[in-house]
């Protein structure tokens, strides 16, 4: 009996020791998450407290769910909740399929040189900082000097002041997002495509399958696990969005669609030092994200055979 | 499975450790609370009236807002050297650049890592609500008794102005000292291109109606030859309100009209001001006639400055013409001149507005072990001698710059070194941080001997000639109590976001002028009246504090 109980313990230690190089490689990652993701979480408690900067996080009084109630019952809640949701869902819908299509197309390109150039150009915007990207968007869409408006005017149209139209904000955000990230996001799919067994194509060609048929019956099914995983991950950020970019794109006249939870938290927290209230809103946001992640994961597991866990 | 369990255990351990780490950090910073009894100073000797303030060299830490990358305020600057010689107190300064200011400020308080003295400078670089929140948390020290005992110069200066009342918070304490006492005109100043106006046969306008005529001439004749923008600015720091809201009798503290206006002895929200509808109308007219920059609501400061440097702008609001045109050549920037404040058919008083006592801008925090020393040290900045030091040493002719007297020593000018862009930049680089601690700098007898010559001094000339004679007190900065802040924070955010949104839409013609009535009723549904009531309570407190 004793021997049996002791056995797994020793074997675990032995496994670790035997493969210590591998665990050593894992260590920085664990330390990173512990220090920067799990460690700061103890600060979450200020969402349930009357945070007093002088008394500190542990010293402040408990306030229960007061801040959550204040936020959920306030007049602004539904507005910004809706904005956040619409913006993210829209971004996923228009932004999600394009990297897959781009990857499939690049995969069919025969000229290696052309493929490399296209890839480099398409993922270059990913490395430009958000501040610069937003300035570029503002300049391109400027009513007096922007490229787009010059084209519109050349065809006899009237210049449009794109950045002040609340209805256009979501489109500008989503489509500039595609421009920024389509190349970068396609890399993961391209990698998956190179891993496909070439004998599958040979067999299909023997049977007389066209290129479109090959894509449909070989490439897409092989990509399915990767697609599902990426979809689950992006669903987990459904109440997220690119905070920096949204904040920089905001201006007074489009707040009815451009004000989202993250920018609201920023305004209340940093702008008005309402730390507890803004933490509560942040916690609310994360909880919703987590629930959506669980739901989508569950659906994926039920429907297909791939899921995060 | 096992691996995952031990991993979870490890993570739990690390999380626990970080909790204790946080606990320790808190415990330590709490111990820095100073002793309440005056005269008792921990560790060092303290002279209540004589100099040096302490017998042994003492260091105070300070955080300062630095608004230019050229300015690295440090203890080797002339004024701090002189002060150290006199007082035996050395200031150890940390600079925070302007673009990181708000985050750094809040994080400093939220993490309780505070300097002894916090300098936020002149202007609204700390929210009134933050002062209350942090004072309530015990992180800012009440200064009433300390100032009375150890700051005779400062107290005597501020006592001259009834507006001193604005420094008192709802609990009856003063938590900060003002950095600027005298009515000089604000930071955002209106400028008009006088050369273009002259070429087109126009006088400098003195009424709003003449101003609009001039703008139309700028638009139609295109004096810059590259698509002249008659009036430019940017929402968020360079509003055109001194041109537009001022002539309607609305007050503006800086470039933006005050959110809270005083009408018939009561506080109203700016949207409830009797002239607000007219303001919308005027702005809409400027915008639709293409007199106002079409990118006014979306352009950033840097985009605005690019237009300024290209000399495309007829009239604008900015802190200085030589900064706006990015030029040190008087032939270029002197094309622009400040107008006198406009009157209009609705308002016939010539007035520009400025807090006669600037809102509190110097704070002593709970981290300061010897607040008595800090207060005596700060008080000396308000003396005439310190004001003299702020102009720097005499020029030794070694290329380092300094002040140069005329032969009869009645008038001096400031010579700069090669690196500096004019006297203001020179002063803030090497002599004194005149952006954060001003004391008696502008109004001592010594400062009257400064020559009003060209160079960037012509900015001073502009101010003194066209603005300062007409300065009237703006609506005071009001402190809500901690409870009032908690109740109104979300309302205030909702109201101001919605009002800014509707205003920009109406001005740009996205919404018709008639939606003003809907706007008011929607603002009321957001809780505007509760907010106005809170501010009126604060205003009553302010009035009862006036002497």
Q: For B247-296, what is each residue's pLDDT tens digit?
A: 999 988 778 888 999 999 899 999 999 999 999 999 999 999 999 998 89
Q: Least CB-CB distance to A253: which of B102, B134, B504?
A: B504
SS3 B176: strand
**φ, ψ for residue B189, nearest 5 deg:** -120, 140
SS3 A70: helix
Contact A37, A286 (CB under 8 A): no
- Closest-CA distance of chain A to residue B139, Å: 6
- Closest-CA distance of chain A to residue B123, Å: 16
Lowest mean pLDDT among A115-129, A282-296, B342-356, B437-451: B437-451
- Closest-CA distance of chain A to residue B33, Å: 11
Compute the average pLDDT of residues A105-126. 91
pLDDT 10s digits, A25-48: 999 999 999 999 888 888 888 899
pLDDT band (50, 70, 90) for residue B357: confident
β-strand partners of B360: B178
Q: Least CB-CB distance to A54: which of B22, B138, B299?
A: B138
Q: Is the pLDDT of residue A307 over 80?
A: no
pLDDT of residue B27: 36
Q: Least CB-CB distance to A251: which of B298, B303, B527?
A: B298
> Residue A145: CA atoms inside 13 Å, Cβ hemisphere, count?
12
Positive or negative, the CA dihedral B438, B443, B449, B450 is: positive
Q: Is the pLDDT of residue B401 over 60?
A: yes
pLDDT of residue B498: 92
CATH superfamily, domain at B189-259+268-354? Periplasmic binding protein-like II (3.40.190.10)
Interchain contact, B294 vs A144, CB within 8 Å: yes
Interchain contact, A272 vs B127, CB within 8 Å: yes
Size of interface A-B (CB pairs under 8 A): 144
Residue B256, C-beta contacts closer than 8 angstroms, at least 6 positions apart: B239, B241
Name the residue in chain A with its Cα closest to that of B114: A54
pLDDT band (50, 70, 90) for residue A209: confident
Helix (H) or strand (E) run with residue B131 in it = helix B128-136
Interchain contact, B501 vs A253, CB within 8 Å: yes
Contact B496, B527 (CB under 8 A): no
Compute the average pLDDT of residues A56-82. 88
Interchain contact, B18 vs A70, CB within 8 Å: no
Mean residue pLDDT across chain B: 84
Interchain contact, A56 vs B525, CB within 8 Å: no
Total residue count of chain B as it appears in this document: 547
**What does the alpha-carbon distance between residue A260 and residue A85 come to, in Å, rounded to a whole number?**
9
**What does the alpha-carbon distance between residue B133 and residue B312 come to, in Å, rounded to a whole number?**
45
Positive or negative, the CA dihedral B112, B113, B114, B120 is: negative
- Closest-CA distance of chain B to residue A186, Å: 32
pLDDT of residue A9: 60
Percent of chain A with pLDDT over 90: 34
pLDDT band (50, 70, 90) for residue A125: very high
Name the residue in chain A with its Cα closest to that of B105: A270
Helix (H) or strand (E) run with residue B215 in it = helix B208-221
Compute the average pLDDT of residues B303-309. 89
- Closest-CA distance of chain A to residue B268, Å: 21
**What does the alpha-carbon distance between residue B533 and residue B266 come to, in Å, rounded to a whole number?**
10
pLDDT 10s digits, A184-202: 999 999 999 988 888 988 8
B447 or B520, which is more confident = B520
pLDDT of residue B457: 55
Write down the H helix ranges in A38-165: 56-59, 66-72, 77-95, 97-108, 112-123, 130-140, 147-154
pLDDT 10s digits, A221-234: 889 888 988 888 88
Compute the average pLDDT of residues B393-401. 85
Interchain contact, A75 vs B527, CB within 8 Å: yes
The closest of B287, B294, B322 to B308, measured between CA atoms, is B322
**What does the alpha-carbon distance between residue A67 and residue A203 come to, in Å, rounded to a whole number?**
63
Within 10 Å of residue B512's Cβ, how many Cβ atoms?
Answer: 11
Write down the H helix ranges in B289-370: 301-309, 321-324, 330-333
pLDDT of residue B9: 52
B interface test, pick of A13, A56, A66 with most B CB neighbours within 10 Å: A56
Strand ranges inside B208-328, DSSP E: 229-232, 260-263, 266-269, 313-318
pLDDT of residue A76: 85
**What does the alpha-carbon distance between residue B293 and residue B317 come to, in Å, rounded to a whole number?**
12
Residue A187, C-beta contacts closer than 8 angstroms, at least 6 positions apart: A119, A123
Interchain contact, B19 vs A254, CB within 8 Å: no
Q: Least CB-CB distance to A53: which of B109, B299, B510?
A: B109
Q: Is the pLDDT of residue A273 over 50?
A: yes
Retrieve residue A159's tokens: 């210049």
Q: Least CB-CB distance to A252: which of B130, B235, B366?
A: B235
**What does the alpha-carbon distance between residue B194 and residue B197 come to, in Å, rounded to a whole number?**
5
**What does the alpha-carbon distance between residue B411 and residue A168 come to, in Å, rounded to a whole number?**
60
Contact A284, A68 (CB under 8 A): yes
Compute the average pLDDT of residues A264-275. 84
Q: Is the pLDDT of residue A114 over 90?
A: yes
Compute the average pLDDT of residues A70-88. 89
**What does the alpha-carbon distance between residue A104 and residue A126 come to, in Å, rounded to a whole number?**
20
- Closest-CA distance of chain B to residue A308, Å: 16
Within 10 Å of residue B49's Cβ, how many Cβ atoms?
Answer: 8
Q: Least CB-CB distance to A272: which of B300, B489, B526?
A: B489
pLDDT band (50, 70, 90) for residue A8: low
Helix (H) or strand (E) run with residue B90 in it = strand B89-97
Q: What is the DSSP letter of B344?
A: B
Lowest mean pLDDT among A277-286, B7-16, B393-402: B7-16
Interchain contact, A39 vs B30, CB within 8 Å: no
Cα B297 to the chain's mean position, in Å? 22
Contact B324, B191 (CB under 8 A): yes
**φ, ψ for residue B381, nearest 5 deg:** -65, -20
pLDDT of residue B292: 94
The closest of B375, B428, B437 to B401, measured between CA atoms, is B428
- Closest-CA distance of chain B to residue A67, Å: 10
Q: Is the pLDDT of residue A171 over 70?
A: yes
Lowest mean pLDDT among B129-143, B235-249, B363-377, B435-449: B435-449
pLDDT of residue A251: 87
Within 10 Å of residue A27's Cβ, how many Cβ atoms?
Answer: 9
pLDDT of residue B280: 95
Interchain contact, B137 vs A54, CB within 8 Å: yes
**What does the alpha-carbon distance between residue B325 and residue B309 come to, in Å, rounded to a whole number?**
4
Compute the average pLDDT of residues B389-407. 85
SS3 B293: coil
Q: What is the DSSP letter of B432?
A: -
Interchain contact, A267 vs B493, CB within 8 Å: yes
pLDDT of residue B300: 81
B295 neighbourhood in chain A, CB within 8 Å:
142-144
Q: Is the pLDDT of residue B38 over 80?
A: no
pLDDT of residue B301: 81
pLDDT of residue B41: 61
Interchain contact, B2 vs A8, CB within 8 Å: yes
Q: Is the pLDDT of residue B22 over 50?
A: no
> Omega before B331 cis (within 30°)?
no
A186 or A59, which is more confident = A186
Residue B258, C-beta contacts closer than 8 angstroms, at least 6 positions apart: B250, B251, B252, B270, B353, B474, B475
pLDDT of residue B538: 92
B22 neighbourhood in chain A, CB within 8 Å:
42-43, 56-58
- Closest-CA distance of chain A to residue B494, Å: 7
Chosen CATH of B38-183+357-384 out of 3.40.50.2300, 3.40.190.10, 1.10.101.10, 3.30.470.10: 3.40.190.10
Q: Is the pLDDT of residue B321 over 90?
A: no
Name the residue in chain B with its Cα closest to that of A271: B102
Interchain contact, A273 vs B106, CB within 8 Å: yes
pLDDT of residue B103: 85
Query: For A193-229, b where at least 16 C-beta lie within 10 A, e where not — what string?
Result: beebeeeeeeebeeeebeeeebbeebbeebbeebbbb
B187 or B146, which is more confident = B146
Q: Is the pLDDT of residue B36 over 80?
A: no
Mean residue pLDDT across chain A: 88
**φ, ψ for residue B538, nearest 5 deg:** -65, -35
Sketch out chain A's domains with CATH numbers.
75-303 (1.10.3720.10)
A interface test, pick of B142, B237, B295 with most A CB neighbours within 10 Å: B295
Instruction: Tell me whether residue A164 is exposed, middle or buried, using C-beta atoms within 10 angstroms of its C-beta: 0 to 12, 13 to 18, 19 or more.
Output: buried
**What does the alpha-carbon distance between residue B112 and residue A5 come to, in Å, rounded to a whole number?**
50
Instruction: Tell me whether residue A72 is exposed, middle or buried, using C-beta atoms within 10 angstroms of its C-beta: 0 to 12, 13 to 18, 19 or more.
Output: middle
Within 10 Å of residue B93's Cβ, how many Cβ atoms?
Answer: 23
Q: Is the pLDDT of residue B328 over 60?
A: yes
pLDDT 10s digits, B179-238: 877 666 666 789 999 999 999 999 999 999 999 999 999 999 999 888 899 999 988 778
Contact A260, A87 (CB under 8 A): yes
**What does the alpha-carbon distance between residue B493 and residue B512 come to, in Å, rounded to a whole number?**
24
Positive or negative, the CA dihedral A283, A286, A292, A296 is: negative
Q: Least CB-CB distance to A252: which of B490, B504, B526?
A: B504
The closest of B503, B485, B496, B487 to B523, measured between CA atoms, is B496
pLDDT of residue A7: 53
Query: For B416-432, b where at least 16 C-beta lie within 10 A, e where not — what string?
Result: beeebbbbbbbbbbbbb
Lowest mean pLDDT among A172-186, B273-287, B416-430: B416-430
SS3 B65: strand
B132 neighbourhood in chain A, CB within 8 Å:
none
Interchain contact, B137 vs A269, CB within 8 Å: no
pLDDT of residue B42: 64
Name the residue in chain B with its Cα closest to that of A266: B103
pLDDT band (50, 70, 90) for residue B19: very low
Residue in the block written with tokens 């956040």: A84
**What does the alpha-carbon distance between residue A161 and residue A148 come to, in Å, rounded to a whole number?**
10
């Amino acid at each position: 009996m004793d021997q049996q109980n002791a056995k797994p313990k020793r074997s675990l230690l032995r496994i670790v020791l035997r493969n210590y190089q591998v665990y050593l490689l894992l260590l920085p990652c664990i330390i990173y998450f512990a220090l920067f993701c799990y460690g700061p979480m103890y600060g979450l408690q200020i969402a349930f407290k009357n945070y007093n900067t002088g008394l500190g996080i542990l010293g402040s009084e408990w306030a229960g769910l007061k801040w959550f109630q204040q936020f959920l019952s306030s007049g602004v809640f539904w507005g910004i909740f809706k904005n956040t949701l619409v913006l993210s869902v829209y971004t996923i819908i228009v932004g999600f399929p394009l990297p897959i299509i781009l990857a499939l197309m690049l995969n069919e390109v025969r000229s290696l040189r052309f493929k490399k150039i296209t890839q480099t150009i398409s993922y270059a915007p990913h490395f430009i900082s958000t501040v610069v990207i937003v300035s570029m968007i503002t300049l391109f869409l400027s009513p007096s000097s922007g490229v787009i408006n010059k084209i519109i005017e050349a065809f006899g149209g009237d210049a449009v002041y794109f950045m002040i139209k609340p209805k256009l904000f979501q489109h500008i955000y989503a489509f500039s997002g595609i421009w920024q990230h389509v190349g970068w996001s396609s890399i993961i799919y391209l990698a998956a495509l190179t891993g496909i067994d070439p004998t599958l194509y040979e067999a299909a060609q023997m049977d007389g399958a066209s290129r479109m048929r090959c894509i449909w019956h070989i490439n897409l099914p092989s990509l399915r696990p990767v697609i599902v995983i990426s979809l689950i991950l992006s669903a987990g950020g459904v109440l997220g969005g690119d905070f920096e970019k949204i904040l920089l794109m905001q201006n007074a006249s489009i707040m009815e669609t451009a004000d989202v939870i993250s920018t609201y938290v920023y305004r209340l927290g940093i702008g008005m030092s309402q730390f507890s209230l803004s933490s509560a809103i942040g916690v609310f946001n994360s909880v919703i994200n987590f629930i959506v992640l669980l739901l989508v994961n569950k659906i994926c597991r039920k429907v297909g055979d791939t899921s995060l866990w | 499975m096992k691996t995952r369990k031990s991993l979870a255990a490890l993570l739990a351990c690390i999380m626990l450790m970080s909790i204790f780490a946080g606990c320790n950090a808190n415990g330590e910073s709490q111990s820095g609370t100073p002793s309440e009894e005056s005269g008792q100073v921990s560790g060092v000797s303290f002279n209540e009236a004589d100099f040096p303030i302490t017998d042994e060299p003492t260091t105070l830490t300070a955080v300062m807002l630095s608004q230019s990358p050229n300015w690295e305020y440090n203890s080797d600057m002339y004024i701090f050297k002189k002060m150290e010689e006199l007082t035996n107190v050395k200031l150890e300064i940390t600079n925070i650049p302007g673009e990181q200011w708000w985050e750094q400020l809040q994080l400093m308080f939220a993490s309780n890592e505070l300097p002894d003295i916090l300098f936020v400078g002149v202007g609204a670089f700390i929210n009134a609500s933050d002062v209350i929140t942090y004072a309530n948390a015990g992180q800012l020290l009440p200064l009433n008794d300390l100032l009375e005992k150890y700051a005779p110069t400062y107290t005597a200066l501020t006592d001259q102005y009834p507006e001193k009342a604005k420094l008192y918070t709802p609990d009856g304490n003063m938590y900060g000292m003002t950095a600027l006492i005298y009515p000089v005109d604000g930071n955002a100043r209106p400028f008009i291109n006088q050369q273009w106006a002259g070429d087109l046969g126009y006088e400098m306008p003195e009424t709003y109606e003449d101003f609009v005529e001039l703008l139309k001439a700028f638009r139609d004749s295109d004096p810059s030859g590259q698509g002249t923008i008659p009036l430019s600015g940017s929402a968020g720091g360079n509003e055109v309100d001194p041109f537009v809201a001022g002539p309607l009798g609305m007050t503006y503290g800086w470039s933006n009209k005050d959110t809270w206006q005083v009408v018939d002895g009561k506080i109203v929200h700016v949207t409830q001001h009797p002239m607000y509808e007219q303001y919308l109308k005027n702005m809409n007219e400027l915008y639709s006639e293409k007199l106002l920059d079409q990118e006014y609501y979306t352009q950033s400061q840097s985009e605005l400055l690019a237009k300024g440097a290209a000399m495309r702008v007829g009239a604008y609001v900015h802190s200085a013409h030589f900064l706006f045109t990015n030029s040190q050549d008087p032939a270029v920037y002197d094309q622009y001149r400040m107008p006198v404040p406009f009157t209009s058919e609705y308002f016939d008083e010539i007035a520009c507005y400025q807090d006669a006592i600037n809102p509190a801008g110097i704070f002593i925090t709970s981290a300061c072990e010897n607040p008595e020393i800090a207060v005596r040290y700060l008080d000396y900045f308000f003396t005439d001698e310190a004001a003299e030091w702020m102009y720097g040493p005499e020029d030794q002719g070694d290329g380092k710059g300094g002040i140069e007297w005329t032969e009869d020593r009645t008038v001096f000018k400031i010579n700069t070194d090669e690196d500096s862009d004019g006297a203001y930049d020179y002063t803030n680089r090497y002599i004194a941080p005149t952006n954060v601690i001003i004391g008696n700098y502008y109004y001592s007898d010594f400062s009257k001997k400064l020559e009003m010559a060209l160079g960037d001094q012509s900015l001073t000339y502009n101010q003194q000639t066209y603005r300062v004679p007409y300065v009237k007190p703006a609506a005071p900065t009001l402190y809500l109590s901690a409870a009032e802040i908690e109740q109104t924070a979300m309302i205030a955010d909702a109201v101001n976001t919605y009002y800014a949104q509707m205003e920009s839409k109406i001005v740009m013609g996205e919404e018709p002028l008639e939606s003003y009535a809907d706007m008011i009723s929607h603002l009321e549904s957001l809780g505007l009246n509760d907010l106005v009531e809170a501010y009126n309570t604060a205003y009553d407190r302010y009035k009862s504090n006036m002497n």
